Amino acid sequence: MGKFWTDQEVLDEINNGRWWYHKITLRPGIVTPGITLLESVWNMSRQSREYIQYSGKRVLDLASFDGMWAFEAEQRGASLVVATDCMQPLYSNFEFCKNILQSKVLPLYNISPYKLWEGLQVLLMDDFTEPLPFPHQIRRNQFDVVQHLGLLYHLRDPMWTLSQCRSVIKPGGHLLLETACILDTNQSIMVYNGAPGQMNRIYKDDTTWWLPSVLCIEEMLKSTLFEVIPESVRTIPSGKINNYDAGRISLVARAIPGSAIDHNCLAELLRIFRNPGIIPDYL
């Protein structure tokens, strides 16, 4: 048994010099401060999330920060939730919330979004208690749902992480994606934010690398064996930024098997040196 925290102790700890990104309800009337400006974006993702069944599912949450999305997946009935990040200093807030919520979410705060298949092997492999039909096959316990929220535009190599997501999602599973985007074009483009120290073409933020258009996002997903569920798409405009109508988009994409696409296209997707994370025998 861990320490019992009184409501006042919880409030004192929340406000004891901690910086909070997420708003997490820890007890009735007790919520971590979080960034109010992002609430509309979070609620948009919750609307898209309604197209996913969580009960009894295995869920992977990327860039978990304080853990809001991981805890919510657990509260929606997921059988296993794994929270990943590669920013270890963020773990303190997560651990505090986990303890107060008495959560069973598994934290792995040393996993890069570029190395999901490699870093999560212990969770993806089964125990080999049953004989495999073919000696070269590897049975895998892939995830039913991967949550990829507020991350894509912060990555130098966004398609790489989408390939990695696909490698750990079982066919028919779902990707919940939310990112900054361009809303006012029917072109498939992705705008580069600029060189380090000069990143201001889109946002004055050295952690932002790209601003993709909606069509570009859809085509990147298609190129990594996902199909967008059109009814799940939600967008929020955020205004004109350097002549781009910027905003946010959330959607759910379904993982499709390789057999669902043209054979010639599939051959290109399976070139590992171009598409890191694609594992041929899961298709």
Structure tokens at 204: 């004055």
Between CA 256 and CA 249 the distance in angstroms is 21
Cα 255 from chain centre = 14
Contact 214, 235 (CB under 8 A): yes
Could you tell me if residue 27 is inside a domain? no
Could you tell me if residue 283 is inside a domain? no
Could you tell me if residue 80 is inside a domain? yes
Could you tell me if residue 32 is inside a domain? no
pLDDT digits (tens, 9 = 90+) for 237-267: 988 877 888 999 999 999 998 777 766 666 6
Look at the chain and report how many structural domains it folds into: 1
Could you tell me if residue 15 is inside a domain? no
pLDDT digits (tens, 9 = 90+) for 96-154: 999 999 999 999 999 999 999 889 988 887 655 555 554 444 546 889 999 999 999 99
CATH number of the domain bearing residue 55? 3.40.50.150
Could you tell me if residue 152 is inside a domain? yes
Could you tell me if residue 279 is inside a domain? no
Mean of all residue pLDDT scores within the chain: 88
Element (H, E) at 48: helix 39-49
Could you tell me if residue 282 is inside a domain? no
**What does pTM read for this prediction?**
0.91
Where in the sequence is the domain holding 200, given as residue range(s)? 37-270
